[in-house]
Amino acid sequence: MRRVLIAAGILLASAFCAAQSTAVFASIYAEHVGTLTTDPKNQFWRDAQPIYAEVDGDGHALPEYRTEVRSRWTKTDIYFLFVCPYKQLYLKPKPDAEHETYELWNWNVAEAFIGTDFKDIHRYKEFEVSPRNEWIDLDIDLHKPHHENGWVWNSGFEHQARIDEQKHVWYAVLRVPFSAVDSRPPATGNTFRVNFYRTDGSGKDAKEVMWQAVMTQTFHTPERFGMIELRTK
Protein backbone atom coordinates (compact mmCIF):
# COMPACT_ATOMS: atom_id res chain seq x y z
CA MET A 1 0.00 0.00 0.00
CA ARG A 2 1.96 3.03 1.25
CA ARG A 3 5.16 1.12 0.46
CA VAL A 4 4.37 0.87 -3.25
CA LEU A 5 6.06 3.64 -5.18
CA ILE A 6 3.71 5.45 -7.52
CA ALA A 7 5.41 7.21 -10.43
CA ALA A 8 2.78 9.93 -10.61
CA GLY A 9 3.21 10.61 -6.90
CA ILE A 10 6.94 11.04 -7.26
CA LEU A 11 6.48 13.50 -10.14
CA LEU A 12 3.94 15.44 -8.10
CA ALA A 13 6.35 15.59 -5.16
CA SER A 14 9.06 16.95 -7.45
CA ALA A 15 6.72 19.74 -8.52
CA PHE A 16 6.07 20.65 -4.89
CA CYS A 17 9.76 20.53 -4.02
CA ALA A 18 10.73 23.84 -5.61
CA ALA A 19 8.07 25.74 -3.67
CA GLN A 20 8.61 23.97 -0.37
CA SER A 21 10.15 25.92 2.47
CA THR A 22 12.47 23.46 4.18
CA ALA A 23 11.87 23.02 7.92
CA VAL A 24 14.96 22.63 10.13
CA PHE A 25 15.16 20.57 13.31
CA ALA A 26 18.04 21.08 15.78
CA SER A 27 19.86 18.12 17.32
CA ILE A 28 21.66 19.35 20.45
CA TYR A 29 25.13 18.13 21.44
CA ALA A 30 25.56 16.05 24.60
CA GLU A 31 28.91 15.49 26.29
CA HIS A 32 27.58 12.55 28.30
CA VAL A 33 24.67 10.21 27.67
CA GLY A 34 24.24 7.80 30.56
CA THR A 35 21.59 5.09 30.32
CA LEU A 36 19.41 5.07 27.22
CA THR A 37 16.02 6.30 28.45
CA THR A 38 12.51 6.86 27.13
CA ASP A 39 11.74 9.34 29.94
CA PRO A 40 11.22 12.82 28.43
CA LYS A 41 11.74 14.34 31.90
CA ASN A 42 15.28 13.01 32.05
CA GLN A 43 17.89 15.81 31.89
CA PHE A 44 19.30 14.34 28.68
CA TRP A 45 15.99 14.95 26.88
CA ARG A 46 14.98 18.13 28.70
CA ASP A 47 17.97 19.91 27.12
CA ALA A 48 16.73 19.04 23.61
CA GLN A 49 14.41 21.18 21.50
CA PRO A 50 11.23 19.35 20.39
CA ILE A 51 9.52 19.37 17.05
CA TYR A 52 6.12 17.80 16.41
CA ALA A 53 4.81 15.30 13.90
CA GLU A 54 1.18 16.40 13.76
CA VAL A 55 -0.14 16.25 10.17
CA ASP A 56 -1.31 13.55 7.80
CA GLY A 57 0.07 12.89 4.33
CA ASP A 58 -1.94 15.75 2.85
CA GLY A 59 -0.87 18.25 5.50
CA HIS A 60 -4.11 18.18 7.50
CA ALA A 61 -3.66 18.72 11.26
CA LEU A 62 -3.98 15.72 13.58
CA PRO A 63 -3.92 17.40 17.03
CA GLU A 64 -5.03 14.27 18.90
CA TYR A 65 -1.95 12.42 17.60
CA ARG A 66 0.58 15.24 18.07
CA THR A 67 3.86 13.36 18.40
CA GLU A 68 6.87 14.96 20.06
CA VAL A 69 10.31 14.24 18.63
CA ARG A 70 13.58 15.26 20.29
CA SER A 71 17.19 14.70 19.22
CA ARG A 72 20.68 14.76 20.77
CA TRP A 73 24.06 13.86 19.36
CA THR A 74 27.49 12.87 20.63
CA LYS A 75 30.84 12.24 18.97
CA THR A 76 29.64 8.81 17.87
CA ASP A 77 25.84 8.67 17.70
CA ILE A 78 22.61 10.55 17.08
CA TYR A 79 19.61 9.98 19.36
CA PHE A 80 15.87 10.36 18.81
CA LEU A 81 12.98 10.29 21.27
CA PHE A 82 9.38 9.81 20.15
CA VAL A 83 6.46 10.60 22.49
CA CYS A 84 3.35 9.15 20.84
CA PRO A 85 -0.16 9.72 22.18
CA TYR A 86 -2.38 6.93 20.90
CA LYS A 87 -6.03 5.95 20.63
CA GLN A 88 -5.76 2.34 19.50
CA LEU A 89 -2.58 0.32 19.14
CA TYR A 90 -2.31 -2.17 16.33
CA LEU A 91 0.42 -4.58 17.40
CA LYS A 92 2.00 -7.62 15.81
CA PRO A 93 1.10 -10.90 17.53
CA LYS A 94 3.99 -12.69 19.24
CA PRO A 95 6.46 -9.78 19.26
CA ASP A 96 10.18 -10.48 18.93
CA ALA A 97 12.38 -7.66 20.22
CA GLU A 98 15.57 -9.70 19.87
CA HIS A 99 15.53 -10.16 16.11
CA GLU A 100 14.74 -7.83 13.23
CA THR A 101 11.09 -7.95 12.15
CA TYR A 102 10.57 -7.79 8.39
CA GLU A 103 7.47 -5.80 7.34
CA LEU A 104 7.19 -4.27 10.79
CA TRP A 105 5.66 -1.24 9.03
CA ASN A 106 2.40 -3.21 8.72
CA TRP A 107 1.81 -2.52 12.42
CA ASN A 108 2.08 0.62 14.54
CA VAL A 109 5.63 2.02 14.60
CA ALA A 110 7.66 5.20 14.96
CA GLU A 111 10.00 5.87 12.03
CA ALA A 112 13.02 8.07 11.31
CA PHE A 113 14.23 8.49 7.72
CA ILE A 114 17.77 9.92 7.46
CA GLY A 115 19.53 10.92 4.23
CA THR A 116 23.07 12.29 3.90
CA ASP A 117 23.53 12.00 0.12
CA PHE A 118 22.50 15.42 -1.19
CA LYS A 119 23.43 14.45 -4.75
CA ASP A 120 21.12 11.44 -4.78
CA ILE A 121 18.22 12.05 -2.40
CA HIS A 122 16.67 8.70 -3.29
CA ARG A 123 19.29 6.96 -1.15
CA TYR A 124 18.76 7.12 2.63
CA LYS A 125 18.34 5.03 5.77
CA GLU A 126 15.14 4.07 7.59
CA PHE A 127 14.75 3.11 11.26
CA GLU A 128 11.58 1.76 12.86
CA VAL A 129 10.62 0.82 16.43
CA SER A 130 7.27 -0.54 17.61
CA PRO A 131 5.57 0.15 20.97
CA ARG A 132 6.84 -3.25 22.15
CA ASN A 133 10.42 -2.57 21.03
CA GLU A 134 10.40 -4.61 17.83
CA TRP A 135 12.68 -3.09 15.23
CA ILE A 136 13.87 -2.93 11.66
CA ASP A 137 16.44 -0.82 9.80
CA LEU A 138 16.71 -0.44 6.05
CA ASP A 139 19.18 0.88 3.48
CA ILE A 140 16.74 2.48 1.03
CA ASP A 141 17.50 2.81 -2.67
CA LEU A 142 14.44 4.08 -4.54
CA HIS A 143 16.15 3.41 -7.86
CA LYS A 144 15.48 -0.29 -7.25
CA PRO A 145 12.01 -1.78 -7.79
CA HIS A 146 11.95 -3.45 -4.36
CA HIS A 147 13.51 -1.02 -1.92
CA GLU A 148 12.22 -3.12 1.01
CA ASN A 149 15.07 -5.52 0.23
CA GLY A 150 17.26 -2.99 2.02
CA TRP A 151 16.21 -4.57 5.32
CA VAL A 152 19.07 -7.08 5.04
CA TRP A 153 21.38 -4.17 5.94
CA ASN A 154 22.11 -3.73 9.65
CA SER A 155 23.11 -0.43 11.24
CA GLY A 156 23.79 -1.61 14.77
CA PHE A 157 21.31 0.93 16.15
CA GLU A 158 19.98 0.55 19.69
CA HIS A 159 16.41 1.18 20.80
CA GLN A 160 13.95 0.99 23.67
CA ALA A 161 10.19 1.38 23.85
CA ARG A 162 7.46 1.34 26.46
CA ILE A 163 3.70 1.83 26.65
CA ASP A 164 2.00 3.94 29.35
CA GLU A 165 -1.51 2.51 29.21
CA GLN A 166 -2.90 4.94 31.81
CA LYS A 167 -1.81 8.02 29.85
CA HIS A 168 -2.39 6.41 26.44
CA VAL A 169 1.12 7.35 25.35
CA TRP A 170 3.94 5.19 24.07
CA TYR A 171 7.60 6.11 23.87
CA ALA A 172 10.53 5.06 21.71
CA VAL A 173 14.19 6.03 21.83
CA LEU A 174 16.77 5.32 19.12
CA ARG A 175 20.57 5.52 19.19
CA VAL A 176 21.92 5.51 15.64
CA PRO A 177 25.69 5.32 15.00
CA PHE A 178 26.87 8.12 12.72
CA SER A 179 29.01 5.53 10.95
CA ALA A 180 25.77 3.89 9.73
CA VAL A 181 24.37 7.01 8.06
CA ASP A 182 27.22 9.38 7.16
CA SER A 183 30.78 9.22 5.84
CA ARG A 184 31.69 12.55 7.50
CA PRO A 185 32.87 12.82 11.09
CA PRO A 186 30.08 14.36 13.21
CA ALA A 187 30.57 18.10 13.71
CA THR A 188 28.56 21.16 14.64
CA GLY A 189 26.81 22.49 11.55
CA ASN A 190 26.51 19.16 9.73
CA THR A 191 23.07 18.70 8.21
CA PHE A 192 21.00 15.69 7.18
CA ARG A 193 17.75 15.25 5.30
CA VAL A 194 15.09 13.73 7.59
CA ASN A 195 11.44 12.99 8.11
CA PHE A 196 9.62 11.41 11.05
CA TYR A 197 6.49 9.29 10.96
CA ARG A 198 4.26 7.15 13.15
CA THR A 199 1.10 5.13 12.71
CA ASP A 200 -1.91 4.53 14.96
CA GLY A 201 -4.72 1.99 14.70
CA SER A 202 -5.52 -0.13 11.65
CA GLY A 203 -7.85 -0.46 8.70
CA LYS A 204 -10.15 2.44 7.85
CA ASP A 205 -9.42 4.06 11.21
CA ALA A 206 -5.63 3.99 10.76
CA LYS A 207 -3.79 7.29 11.10
CA GLU A 208 -0.47 8.16 9.48
CA VAL A 209 1.18 11.00 11.38
CA MET A 210 4.25 12.82 10.13
CA TRP A 211 6.49 15.85 10.58
CA GLN A 212 6.64 16.95 6.94
CA ALA A 213 3.59 16.07 4.84
CA VAL A 214 4.56 13.83 1.91
CA MET A 215 1.65 14.95 -0.34
CA THR A 216 1.77 11.53 -2.09
CA GLN A 217 0.70 7.92 -1.46
CA THR A 218 3.99 6.85 0.13
CA PHE A 219 6.21 7.79 3.05
CA HIS A 220 9.10 7.35 0.63
CA THR A 221 8.95 10.85 -0.79
CA PRO A 222 12.41 12.32 -0.12
CA GLU A 223 11.54 15.50 -2.02
CA ARG A 224 9.41 16.41 1.01
CA PHE A 225 11.95 15.72 3.75
CA GLY A 226 12.97 18.43 6.19
CA MET A 227 16.45 18.98 7.61
CA ILE A 228 18.23 18.28 10.88
CA GLU A 229 21.30 20.27 11.93
CA LEU A 230 23.86 19.29 14.55
CA ARG A 231 24.14 22.16 17.05
CA THR A 232 26.01 22.71 20.29
CA LYS A 233 23.06 24.41 21.99
> What pLDDT, in 10s, does the model give residues 65-74?
999 999 999 9
Please determine, for residue 3, whether its predicted confidence score (pLDDT) is greater than 70: no
Average pLDDT for 172-196? 98
What pLDDT was estimated at residue 11?
Answer: 42
More confident residue, 8 or 187: 187
Per residue in 138-180, pLDDT tens? Answer: 999 999 999 989 999 999 999 999 999 999 999 999 999 999 9
The mean pLDDT of 27-44, rounded to a whole number, is 95
Average pLDDT of the segment spanning 33-42: 94
Q: Is residue 93 a contact partner of residue 101, using CB atoms and an 8 Å limit?
A: no
Cβ density class 30-56: b for 16+ within 10 Å, e for less: beeeeeebbebeeebbeebeebebbbe
Q: State the chain's mean pLDDT as an integer.
A: 92
Cβ(160)–Cβ(110) below 8 Å? no
| Domains detected in the chain | 7-231 (2.60.40.1190)
What pLDDT is stored for residue 34 in this prediction? 86
